Amino acid sequence: MCRGNKIIIACGSKFSNCEKKKRRDNLNQNFKLEEFGQVKYLKCRPLDNTNLVINTFTTRLGGVSKYPFHSLNTSYNVDDKESCVTENRKIITNILGINYRYIVSARQIHKDKITVVKKEDKGRGALKYSDALAETDALITNIPGIPLLMCYADCVPIFILDPVKKAIGLIHSGGRGTELQITSKALDKMQKIFGTNPQSCLAAIFPSIGPCCYKIKNQNQINDYWTNKNNFSHKIFSIQNENERSLDLKKANYLQLIKGGIEKKNIFINEICTADCPELFFSYRRDKGKTGRMAAIFMLK
């Protein structure tokens, strides 16, 4: 749960005190919640410490949108006013010291297309949804000064930095994207396009819905991905009771990064569950679809 400004691990009842403390300490060490006036946003410290990138995951706080998008909704693709979304994007990019007109974002469709962002894409989707990069759920680039922006409300935000070739990847991976292994594919594509060696990469996984709240009642809706031993099913799939299965999206995407060759010590996971934190985060599941979106923003300096 989140209480006030303090970030405490969600769904603590599942963990022992010792485990809770370990996880909380890990959070404090690898993620920080920054504040500027009413605006609050997260950063991954190890990514920040490279001084190569700007990395941020926004919360819902500090924007101008009204219910049910209150208040820092960053997506043009919900029924919020376009002017409010632009203002919200200005608010956060001003704080980060980047130009909101340079943002590149995508029309996300829960599939596995990965787009290589080029210089001429600068500004695609910055001011309106219609010119965002089409049908894309991952953006990769080696061009400095282009802020990649993807929108989330429960799906998993994954950041990959190759500090050697100076390339980045930003992934939107929900249930469907995870099953299509978009995270594995984005890492593969970075290898092909930029010559990335996964062993030198850093990766961050920001808040998403946790296994505590991502439960599936209809067993027919469970893709084979989750029960396949090759995908470490025992770590990502659990039977809650006769009628309920629980899926761990974060862990599944983490395991795709590991399988792709990124070292454990170089992957930083924020364990907060978006559905458990109405004070800080929009949640598609919790809010039954009527809600705003947080933004992941990732830019090479």
Residue 63 engages Zn ion in binding (rule: CB under 5 A): no
Site string for Zn ion, 233-252 (x = CB under 5 A): --------------------
Q: How far is the CB of 279 from Zn ion (least distance, A)?
A: 14
Member of 212, 258, 261, 278 binding Zn ion (CB under 5 A)? 212
Among 54, 127, 193, 213, contact with Zn ion (rule: CB under 5 A): 213
Could you give the CA distance from residue 258 to residue 186 in angstroms, rounded to a whole number? 13
Q: Does 258 bind Zn ion (CB under 5 A)?
A: no
For the CB of residue 214, give the shortest distance to Zn ion in the complex, in Å. Answer: 8
46/210 with CB nearer Zn ion: 210
Task: Using the minimum distance from each CB to Zn ion, give the nearer residue, 107 or 215.
Answer: 215
Count the site residues for Zn ion by CB under 5 A. Answer: 8
For residue 179, how far is the Cα from the chain centroid? 16
Identify the bridge partners of residue 294 per DSSP, sorted by sequence position.
152
Beta strand segments in the chain, E: 2-3, 6-7, 31-36, 39-44, 53-58, 104-105, 114-116, 138-141, 148-152, 156-162, 167-173, 202-205, 215-216, 237-241, 244-247, 267-269, 294-300
> Beta-carbon neighbour count of residue 275 at 10 Å?
23
Based on CB atoms, which residue is closest to Zn ion, 151 or 272? 272
**Cβ of residue 15: shortest distance to Zn ion, in angstroms?**
12
Rounded Cα–Cα distance for residues 31 and 113 (Å): 28
Shortest Cβ distance from residue 232 to Zn ion (Å)?
Answer: 21
User: Which residue's C-beta sits nearest to Zn ion?
Assistant: 273
Q: In a 10 Å sphere around its CB, with 0-12 CB exposed, 13-18 middle and 19+ buried, how is residue 260 labelled?
A: buried
Q: Is 177 in the site for Zn ion (CB under 5 A)?
A: no
d(CA 81, CA 69): 10
Q: Looking at 210, 251, 268, 277, which residue binds Zn ion (CB under 5 A)?
A: 210
CB 137 within 8 A of CB 120: no
Q: Give the number of C-alpha atoms closer than 13 A to the C-alpha of residue 287, restricted to the C-beta side.
A: 20
Taking the least distance from each CB to Zn ion, the nearer of 69 and 281 is 281
Task: Select from 89-97, 160-168, 177-185, 210-218 the region that touches Zn ion (CB under 5 A).
Answer: 210-218
Interface map 264-283 toward Zn ion (x if CB under 5 A): ---------x-xx-------
CB of 211 to Zn ion, least distance (A): 8
The answer to whether 157 touches 169, Cβ cutoff 8 Å, is: no
Site of tokens 């070292």: 263
Q: Which residues bind Zn ion (CB under 5 A)?
A: 10-11, 210, 212-213, 273, 275-276
